[in-house]
Chain A
Amino acid sequence: MARSRRDQELPHAPLHVFLGLATLVTVYPVLWVVSIAFSGRQTLAIADVPSDPTFLQRLRAVVPWPQQWSTANFTSVMTDQPFGRWVLNSVVVAIFTTLLGIFLSCTAAYAFSRFKFPGRRAGMMSFLISQMFPGVLTLIPLYIIMVQVLGLGNSRLGMIIVYAATSIPFSVWMLKGYFDTIPKELEEAAIIEGASAGTIFWRIVLPLAKPAVAITALFSFMTSWNEFILAATFMDKEDMYTAPVGLRFFVGGFSQQWGYFAAGSIIVSIPVVVLFLYLQKYLVSGLTAGSVKG
């Protein structure tokens, strides 16, 4: 009852206007990029503005709606430009980073959560501390190790190892926190029924930790998908670029191909959006951890 009375008292229209404006502010940059991508041109501007513009012409220049619609930027970024190859690099790197990172994080987090061993606290602490420094700090040592020592410059494998390693601390913390909420009695019941440690991990703990695994995987995928600095450092051959490095290539020193950049950005964001939508149900339950109850 109290609820509906409040509904009546709160005027809807101004609220909606306010929320609409707030949304507009948030998505405006995105709309701008979309307009450029579909404009079929390479300039940053949405519309041509004469040297002595009228108010309406100025207004037109900031309305994110292309003067004419064209998918030319998308087709040529995928065909004339090696962008497809770069996206493929990114896909391979991100997928394997996620698989490797999640596998190692899950097993490590489970050990941290369930077993007592020397170095357990120190291990968790060092993971935490490693998160306190900006990632660039490790750029030089990583470069020396990966490129100079292991010779894994310009290699997807190298990128996968680097990304997996850098994502593990966060993932382990995340997963350990979730594993801690899974009642120990479930495992004890399974032990009595004759389950081995492996069976318990694969058939009881992991299925129950699905939400946490899902967000951790998403995190892992997104960091490697979006990462620029390390990729730009390790991948200096053009056909080994990842998508973010490739995007930068379009608007680098000599070229100003904003149209390709915009189209590429949109292509790059599609997998992330799809993943988000797909994992949505887990995101909700994963963030309200502790939901595993007999």
Chain B
Amino acid sequence: MSGVTIRAVTKRYGDNAPVLTGIDLAIQDREFMVLVGPSGCGKSTLLRMIAGLEEITSGTISIGDRVVNDVPPKDRDIAMVFQSYALYPHMSVRENLEFGMKLRKTPRAEMDRLVAEAARILGIEEYLARRPKELSGGQRQRVALGRAIVRKPAVFLFDEPLSNLDAKLRVQMRAEIKKLQHRLQVTSVYVTHDQVEAMTMGHRIAIMHQGKLQQVGTPLEVYERPSNLFVANFIGTPPMNFVRATVGDGGTSLQARGFVLPAPAACREALAARAGKIVVAGIRPENVVDASRSTRGATAPLELVADLVETLGDEVVVHGRQGEDEIAFKMDPHNPPELGARVPVQLEIDRLHLFDAETEQRIND
């Protein structure tokens, strides 16, 4: 009933170059959609246009079946949670929660019920009489969530709500927000620049870069089938390895600077058309497998020189080098290679991601 539909939306401030161009995005009812991208890509701007805090330069935004371009924020049936919490410092937690309801002339009994319910869900019952400045960051964030909940909106909008919290609390609140959304079943749009947050929280994620939507899909989809180099690089830690290679032998081999890989069987056809051209081959660290682990599908052997070893506890990340190309991979933490040692690995060829070097778009499907 209350999806958010964004059609051909652009945004431009004054006469400057547009900040957003041609955004098309359909957010389903009850969906948790995460907008993710590097700083300055325009994700907050898009969210604020949904909220009605920014004008829409062109295109339309609908909430439910209603185009809301000219609807003031208060009539859009949304609630927004800000990065800085934006709690009213001179009001108690209870007054903060009640502020909007008082403006909407909610009856006292109803107001008390909603506040009590939100406070119980968020575990802030003890703090209702306190001022925001007497709360910790996590507690303030909960109050900000509470203010959104009591509104009973059709859509929740979150603008980097966790980025002021420390790492541990962030992980905890991440899970809480996700559970909350599941429990309340309210369509949510969540902005973050943290790809881990995006992957873990979203039903679907929309990756943005330089004012354009790069890819929209479930976390697994964008992880396994990044549609361009930017997405491939942005999603995943440690990031995907990239090797520039020339398509050789009529599309059956990829000739990198220091080694040759067989092309994945599935995309030989697509590569045949590009014989002699340059492509970028991407492979995720977990698809570069050392002798201690088993492989899946076709593989190609490669010998890497260990340049740097990072211990994560459950595994080590080895930054290996082959000629001028750097390839990171993961190994068992108990016998990491010496620096400078040669490590034989197998590349899972079927997991190669191939991108056109010029257009940066994905080649294989």
Contacts and interface: CB of A to CB of B under 8 A. Distances in A.
B90 A192 contact: no
Interface stretch (A68-76, A118-126, A152-160, A181-189): A181-189
Given A191-B73, A194-B104, A186 B78 contact: no
Interface residues of B, number: 25
B103 A185 contact: no
A98 to B, nearest CB: 22
A272 interface: no
A148 interface: no
Contacts of B84: 183, 185, 294
A195 interface: yes
A186 B86 contact: yes
Interface in B98-140: 99-100, 103-104, 132-133, 140
Contacts of B74: 191-195
Nearest to B72: A191
B89 interface: yes
Contacts of B87: 294
A279 B89 CA distance: 20
Given A192-B74, A193-B100, A194-B104, A293 B80 contact: no
A294 B78 contact: no
Contact of B53 (A183, A191, A207, A292): A191
B155 to A, nearest CB: 11
B79 A192 contact: yes
B93 interface: no
B80 A192 contact: yes
B53 A193 contact: no
Interface in B58-102: 73-74, 78-80, 82, 84-90, 99-100
Contact of A189 (B52, B80, B104): B80
A190 B82 contact: no
B169 to A, nearest CB: 16
A192 B132 CA distance: 19
A293 B135 CA distance: 12
A273 to B, nearest CB: 28
Interface in A166-200: 183, 185-186, 188-195, 199
Nearest to B51: A192
A194 B53 contact: no
A208 interface: yes
B140 A194 contact: no
Given A185-B82, A294-B132, A193 B90 contact: no
A183 B82 CA distance: 11
Contacts of B209: none
Interface residues of A, number: 18
B362 interface: no
Given A188-B53, A192-B79, A294 B103 contact: no
A294 B53 contact: no
B80 A207 contact: no
Contact of B78 (A190, A192, A195, A293): A192
Contacts of A195: 74, 99-100, 103
Nearest to B73: A192
B151 interface: yes
Contacts of A199: 103
Nearest to A194: B74
B86 A194 contact: no
Interface in A71-89: none
Given A193-B100, A193-B151, A188 B86 contact: yes
Contacts of B132: 294
Nearest to B75: A194
Interface in B150-165: 151
A161 B100 CA distance: 39
Nearest to B81: A189
B138 to A, nearest CB: 13
The winner among A191, A192, A194 for most chain B CB atoms within 10 A is A192
22 contacts: A185-B82, A185-B86, A186-B89, A188-B86, A189-B86, A189-B147, A191-B73, A191-B74, A192-B52, A192-B74, A193-B99, A193-B100, A193-B103, A193-B147, A194-B74, A195-B99, A195-B103, A207-B90, A208-B90, A292-B89, A293-B89, A294-B87
Given A185-B82, A185-B84, A195-B100, 19 more contacts: A186-B86, A188-B80, A189-B80, A189-B88, A191-B53, A192-B53, A192-B74, A192-B78, A192-B79, A193-B74, A193-B99, A193-B103, A194-B100, A194-B104, A195-B103, A293-B89, A294-B84, A294-B86, A294-B140
